[in-house]
Chains A and B, each alone.
Chain A
Amino acid sequence: MADLMVTQKAAAQRQITYREAVAEGIAREMRRDPAVVCLGEDIGEAGGVFKTTAGLFKEFGPGRVWDTPISEQAIVGAAMGAAMTGMRPVAEIMFSDFLACCWDYLANEIPKVRYMTGGQVTVPLVVRTANGGGLGFGAQHSQATENWAFTVPGLKIAAPSTPADVIGMMASAIRCDDPVIFFEHKGLFASKGDPAPPDHVVELGKAAVVREGADITLVALASMVPVALAAAERLAREGIDAEVVDLRCLVPLDVSTVLASLGRTSRLTIVEENPYQGGWGATLVSVVADEGFGLLDAPVRRVAGECVPLPFADALEERVIPTVDKVVTAVRELSAY
């Protein structure tokens, strides 16, 4: 699984890992803006349990990189208070599953305060979290939880798939005047990619066409992007030319890039790690049905996770979340339609 997630290109220049990109992305913003501060469990000297904050404590010190107790409500609630009063906090919730421990802040407090105060209060914070499966961490440490956030108006949702995007989107997320939940995919941490040029900024809400193709559009997010790309390579050998769209963000959702791609391919498959029920793909499909029905020559397919808690064993996990095989099968069927 992890092998699949290694970015395809072996570029001549030195590549960086996705995990290094997280720390690099934060560090660039901390150098730029003294209002950026980090807080979270073990993020200081220890550099984070996933080593995604390595080096920050050394460079910026305990005045800007704060170790917290195991207190998810306090972490996100305090980040909110700091954001309301002039700081740009970047809070880490170690595993995205633990977002449930501070869900009140994410569902009820942070996204609503601006609206219900009639625009008086802005909450410019980033909650970073390690999302998703693929590493055999079991049901309470492996969920793809971006849909939890997707149901809540008022949160922006970023989920990059490459190291350069991590850096560029981190810049946008931290500079954003709105709250952003930044999903870093656990299965991608070891993957490598091209480094980001200085001042690299990727606007939130801009999907990327990461592989061009004429026969079918595959829309994917985060760890599913390399899965979709690998499937596209396999399908190419069978004569099916797939275009792959990396959605990058769920809010704002770049519908226009998806519709433009459908204009070229007229077929759609969505690849989601999360369970089928309530997945973001369902929303995308409904928008396409609404606004792009005439572009379609075939039904749409969603290759999504099964509606079960994520099992522990690799073989079981693979059974539950989308794989290259599952995507290839779905696309083959759809192409024959």
Chain B
Amino acid sequence: MVTRDELLTLYEQMAVIRRTEKAAHDLFLSGLVKGTTHLAAGHEAIAVGASAALREDDYVFATYRGHHHALARGATPEECLAELMSRATGLCKAKGGSMHLTKASAGMLGSYAIVGAHLPMAVGAAWSARLRGTDQLAVAFFGDGATNIGAFHEALNLAAVWKLPVLFICENNLYMEYTAIADVTAVPRPAADRAPAYGIPGEVVDGNDVVLVQEAVDRLARRARAGDGPALLEAETYRHYGHSRADPATYRPAEEVERWLKHDPLDLARGRLAEMGVPEEELTSIDERATAVVRAAAEAAKAAPAPDPAEALTDVWADGGAAWRT
């Protein structure tokens, strides 16, 4: 069971992520973030709870909705916001953008914008851990929509037959882009219900409760590390914003939105902390600290320089360059 101090840390991480997402949204509205963003406000408990259960040398692969995973794995709000604002100091030197946040040094091996693509990669990272004789784990976070793409099924099967230490964690937020997953999926649990077909455990967890997520991931991670193979965890959650910047999410029934907003991951954690006897002021000061950190990060990112255009012709090849001919 998580201790008071551990939960305070998890809460603070979630508070920073929530504010970073808000900052991304605001910067976007003021024209400083180009392209698109897929905000994960509402999903914080999955990234933070899972990361708390992982080791530093484990691998994580995420989707275009991956700000929370990058932050939970140790990317700073400044690096992330600078990347979103196309600054030279961005997490990926402004070459990745919102959909590709990556912090390889922290085992966060990328955010992928092709639905389902990274599931086989996580299988490969787990395979590599086995080959190298380490007991590292690989985790793929993905949306409910990804469960209907071929790569999901190929990845599950390969991980299962090779008995690899990989966790598939579905963030089921009930919608793909604008379509409800229930309208296009033959089973009620798009992820967990498929697990039996591959002979692996498929569990469901309240994805807004950081403690339950941490416990579930911890248990499945131990199992995988012990050599018992992959598992699938379906974490139920809800996104607060629309699918991407352009989407006001009007397709969601008002009472559904209201119900889920009342089931907010930060509120849930606060409730647990209150039960543990943490005074309100302590939580307020955490909130204030998070606000200050993100505000400073946004300012620093804004002040950072644009990338040198010459950078456009670097990093294609391992020698750092991009030459395709002699």
Assuming the A-B contacts A82-B127, A124-B318, are A117 and B100 also in contact, with contact meaning beta carbons closer than 8 angstroms in the complex? yes
CB-based contact B323/A81 at 8 Å = no
Beta-carbon nearest neighbor of A121 in chain B: B104
Assuming the A-B contacts A104-B114, A116-B95, A252-B325, are A82 and B128 also in contact, with contact meaning beta carbons closer than 8 angstroms in the complex? yes
CB-based contact A87/B315 at 8 Å = no
Partner of B138, one of A68, A81, A120, A251: A81
Question: A79 in the interface, Cβ–Cβ < 8 Å?
Answer: yes
Q: How far is the CB of A33 from chain B (nearest CB, A)?
A: 12
Beta-carbon nearest neighbor of A251 in chain B: B324
CB-based contact A73/B151 at 8 Å = yes
In the complex, number of A-B residue pairs with CB atoms less than 8 Å apart: 170
Beta-carbon nearest neighbor of B324 in chain A: A251
Of A105-113, A193-201, A232-240, the one touching chain B: A105-113
Q: How far is the CB of B91 from chain A (nearest CB, A)?
A: 8
CB-based contact A120/B105 at 8 Å = yes
Secondary structure dominating the interface of B: mixed
CB-based contact B158/A255 at 8 Å = no
Question: A83 in the interface, Cβ–Cβ < 8 Å?
Answer: yes
Partner of A105, one of B100, B117, B126: B117
Could you tell me which residues of chain B, from 98 to 123, have a CB within 8 Å of some CB in chain A? 100, 102-105, 109-110, 112, 114, 117-123
Partner of B151, one of A68, A77, A287: A77
- List B contacts of A105 (CB < 8 A): 117, 120
Beta-carbon nearest neighbor of A154 in chain B: B316
- List B contacts of A113 (CB < 8 A): 102, 110
User: CA A77 – CA B325 in complex, angstroms?
Assistant: 27
Question: A230 in the interface, Cβ–Cβ < 8 Å?
Answer: no
CB-based contact A117/B117 at 8 Å = no
Question: B314 in the interface, Cβ–Cβ < 8 Å?
Answer: yes
Partner of B125, one of A81, A104, A117, A120: A81
Assuming the A-B contacts A120-B104, A254-B325, are A74 and B155 also in contact, with contact meaning beta carbons closer than 8 angstroms in the complex? yes
- List A contacts of B109 (CB < 8 A): 81, 84-85, 121
Assuming the A-B contacts A82-B125, A84-B121, are A74 and B316 also in contact, with contact meaning beta carbons closer than 8 angstroms in the complex? no
User: CA A59 – CA B319 in complex, angstroms?
Assistant: 33
Q: How far is the CB of B184 from chain A (nearest CB, A)?
A: 20
User: CA A124 – CA B317 in complex, angstroms?
Assistant: 10
Question: B161 in the interface, Cβ–Cβ < 8 Å?
Answer: yes
Q: How far is the CB of A116 from chain B (nearest CB, A)?
A: 4
User: CA A130 – CA B19 in complex, angstroms?
Assistant: 52
CB-based contact B110/A253 at 8 Å = no
CB-based contact A73/B131 at 8 Å = no
Could you tell me which residues of chain A, from 85 to 109, have a CB within 8 Å of some CB in chain B? 85-87, 89, 104-105, 108-109
Q: Mark B77-111, 1 if CB is under 8 A from A, else 0.
A: 00000000000001111111100101111000110
Could you tell me which residues of chain A, from 162 to 213, have a CB within 8 Å of some CB in chain B? 176-178, 205
Assuming the A-B contacts A121-B104, A177-B318, are A37 and B131 also in contact, with contact meaning beta carbons closer than 8 angstroms in the complex? yes
29 contacts between A and B (CB under 8 A): A73-B120, A73-B154, A74-B154, A76-B120, A77-B119, A78-B123, A81-B120, A82-B127, A82-B128, A84-B109, A84-B121, A84-B125, A108-B117, A109-B112, A109-B114, A109-B118, A109-B121, A115-B95, A115-B315, A116-B100, A117-B100, A118-B92, A120-B103, A121-B104, A205-B325, A251-B325, A252-B324, A252-B326, A287-B325
Known contacts A82-B127, A85-B124, A177-B317; 14 further A-B pairs (Cβ under 8 A): A69-B157, A69-B158, A73-B155, A77-B123, A77-B124, A78-B123, A78-B127, A78-B155, A84-B121, A105-B120, A115-B95, A120-B102, A153-B322, A256-B326
Give chain A's interface residues, CB within 8 Å of chain B.
Answer: 37, 63-64, 66, 68-69, 71, 73-87, 89, 104-105, 108-109, 113-122, 124, 153-154, 176-178, 205, 251-257, 287
Q: What 6 A-B pairs have minimum CB-CB distances, sorted nearest first?
A: A81-B124, A77-B120, A118-B93, A177-B318, A78-B124, A81-B121
